[in-house]
Amino acid sequence: MRLEAEVGAVSVGSEFIGSSFQPVRPNGHPRPLVMRCGALGDMTMLTPLIRALAARFGQPVDIVSSGPWTASLLEGQLGVGDLFLVKSRRRPYFVSPDQWRLVRQLRNRGAGPTWFMDLQGIGRQLLTRAGIGPEWIIDAEAVPLLSGEHGLDRLLSLAAINPPGLVTPPPAPAIPTAAATMLVSSNSARQEVVDWLARLGLHGRPFLVAQAGNKRTMRRGRRRRPSNQKYWPESRWVGVIGAMRERCPEHAILLLGVASESALNEDILRLAHCRDVFNVAADRSVTFLVALLEMADGMVSVDTGPAHVAAAVGLPLVVMFRGADAIQYVPRGVPGGPVICVRADPPGTLEGVTEESVVNAWRRLSLRSEGAHPLT
């Protein structure tokens, strides 16, 4: 992988972006492009669209995105072609060298069928500057959302739409009963996790994981505040960890998170008084997270990006949602990876989810150690 120091193009496929590159392969179909600048969960949910377009057009899908972790998440995943990163879509164009670079790269690439997946048209002007006109663009926001439609099913419906500029479109993809996310880790990432577990004294031991924090929880201010609708009280996590320990007495329990979530995990640990529970919150790579979750036996999580990654690697999962948003965004991963969604009642903040409902869901969840191994 080649990542320019100032955040430019990444060559993830077999071809590097150059002045003579055109997105056409011998089968005559132009190479598709997707623009999506989202959070970890958003980009994980994009994987069914990428796979569907790659299968339909018979070639990899190029992606315009942002975020320092995006390349780590998507590199080497099925259907991913060349990745173009931009620091910010909101800065004025005349003071944004990374936007100039992106526009040059897309102009050199050439116009072709493009799926624009971001809200409120943010960043679409960059496609226009690159010569990708409206005749080539499927704007997801312009396609009505069906009542009760899951976000992943919507993505596959979008993959079947043809932009007007596509004169000879390939056949529409077969739509599966239920779309699912999918991620796989590299051998090097798996070895990194194995070595890290050994340093913790957990070599060869089974383990469970829990994700208590999210980026809203860790913003400045009290955790329990009106704007933090994804906060779930530390005292309730104590009950869930106790249930995890009771069901799996030989497992270690890892409390995940980024470095800013470490204090939350420490507060939970102080209340829990439970053996073999480890606070492992730290700023690690996304590739590390994918490999770690591939090796776990089960997970309990609030609605956040790692929960989507867990489902995408087939990890049995209990996930908490505030309410109606679960209809569109509940994680849905590879077949055989059980996911139990627990919703707030009444809908509102995550504090509407009771400890009892999460514990009961955990007790019903089929763990990998009990035969739920979709990736083996």
What is the pLDDT at residue 22? Answer: 45
- CA 216 to CA 219: how far, in whole Å? 6
Q: What is the pLDDT of residues 282-335, one digit of tens each?
A: 989 999 999 999 999 999 999 999 999 999 999 999 999 997 688 889 999 877
Measure the CA–CA gap between 166 and 175, rounded to whole angstroms: 21
Find the mean pLDDT for residues 162-173. 83
Same domain, 93 and 132: yes
Residues 141 and 235 in one domain: no
Asked whether residue 151 falls in the same domain as residue 78, the answer is yes
The domain that holds 306 is classified in CATH as: 3.40.50.2000
pLDDT at 222: 63
Q: How many domains does the chain have?
A: 2
Q: pTM value?
A: 0.88
Range of the domain at 205: 187-370
Closest CA to 312 of 47, 51, 66: 47
In a domain, 173, yes or no: no
- 280 and 352 fall within a common domain: yes
Please report whether residue 134 resides in a domain.
yes
Per-residue pLDDT, averaged over 177-206, amounts to: 93
Highest mean pLDDT pick, 90-94, 162-166, 191-195: 191-195
> Looking at the domain assignment, is residue 179 inside a domain?
no
- Together in a domain, 201 and 151: no
- Does residue 328 share a domain with residue 210? yes
- Residue 166 lies inside a defined structural domain of this protein: no
361 and 215 both lie in a single domain = yes
Regarding whether 211 and 100 lie in a shared domain, the answer is no
Q: Is residue 118 part of a domain?
A: yes
* pLDDT higher than threshold 80 for residue 5: no
Look at residue 105 and tell me if it is in a domain: yes
